[in-house]
Amino acid sequence: MNPKKYYGSKGKYLEEHKTYFSKKQLQKDINFIIDTLKLNKKDKILDLACGNGRHTLEFKKMGFDIEGLDYSVHLLKMAHDNAKQQKLDITFHKCDIHNIDIDKKYDKIFLFFSEFGLFDADKVLKNVSKLLKPNGLFLLDYDNVFRLIQHLAKNNKSSFKFDFVNMELQEQTDGNLRVRYYTVPELDTLLKRNKLKIKNIYGNYEKEELDINSRRIIFIAKKMSS
């Protein structure tokens, strides 16, 4: 899988996730983000890797001060078109998450339902820290590595395998696809290195405790003031 193609006009991203991208799920996402990030209408918010803007648009309709960021021209065009159709004035930034050049600070940032393992984690977290105001909050949401390993063990005919030495998901038919997965202690170290301190960890959007069967690993981290 080539990520640029996957999220492009001929990619499979939207098609593969169309069942998940329901109005019901969107409302659950929104409620979870508002609750865990303690969002209020005075906050300046950034939706990192916003895709086609499903969360960004919904928050804007609710009166929140939010902007979106993504590198996919195709998905951002969809976001712009939807915002225009709904008469919503939203700033969308087209840039690589590793090289963010925005001259402003945010109170809250979220990277939701992400393929975090495709990124250079240290660069991304460095950018998050740079963009966050002191004591600002960051939400990081991605797949639970332990649930993934169990899934692969039960589906041994899968085209994917897990490399335990490098903690990577690899597609056997595509040697270029390598998705890095992190344990909680590893991410704790990465976050602290970038002046972000974990406040809460959840295993799903119901705020349940993280365990081996949890579908997600969700971190709420606070930007340290010094």
pLDDT tops 90 at residue 125: yes
Residue 53 pLDDT more than 60? yes
Choose among 10, 222, 11, 196: nearest CA to 115. 11
pLDDT category of residue 166 using cuts at 50, 70 and 90: very high
- Residue 155 in domain: no
- Note whether residue 86 is domain-resident: yes
pLDDT given for residue 159 in this prediction: 84
Give dist(CA 49, CA 110) in Å, integer.
Answer: 9
CB proximity list for 107: less than 8 A, separation 6 or greater: 42, 43, 44, 45, 132, 133, 136, 137
Residue 158 lies in a domain: no
Identify whether 171 is part of a domain.
Answer: no
As given in the structure block, the two tokens for residue 37 are 């990030």
Cα-based angle 33, 100, 35 (whole degrees, multiple of 5):
10
Q: Which of 6-10, 81-85, 171-175 has the lowest mean pLDDT?
A: 6-10
Which pLDDT belongs to residue 91? 97
Confidence of residue 18 (pLDDT cuts 50, 70, 90): low
Rounded to whole angstroms, the Cα distance separating 10 from 85 reads 23
Q: Please give the residue that has the higher pLDDT: either 88 or 23.
A: 88
Q: Is the pLDDT of residue 100 over 80?
A: yes
pTM as predicted? 0.90
The number of folded domains in the chain is 1
Find the mean pLDDT for residues 116-129.
95
Asked if the structure places residue 169 within a domain, the reply is no
CATH number, domain containing residue 60 = 3.40.50.150
Residue 116 structural domain: 3-144+183-223
Helix or strand (DSSP H, E) at 109: strand 106-114
Tell me whether strands 106-114 and 44-48 are parallel, antiparallel or unpaired.
parallel
Q: Which of 82-96, 118-132, 171-185 has the lowest mean pLDDT?
A: 171-185
Amino acid 12: pLDDT = 53
Structure confidence at residue 7 (pLDDT): 45
Q: Which residue has the higher pLDDT, 23 or 136?
A: 136
For residue 17, being part of any structural domain is answered with yes
Report the run of H or E that residue 24 belongs to, with start and end: helix 23-37
Residue 21's pLDDT is 65
Does a structural domain hold residue 43? yes
Q: How far is CA 198 from CA 40, 45, 188, in A?
A: 21, 19, 7
The answer to whether residue 193 sits within a structural domain is yes
| Arithmetic mean of pLDDT, 201-223 | 96
pLDDT band at residue 10 using 50, 70 and 90 as cut-offs? very low
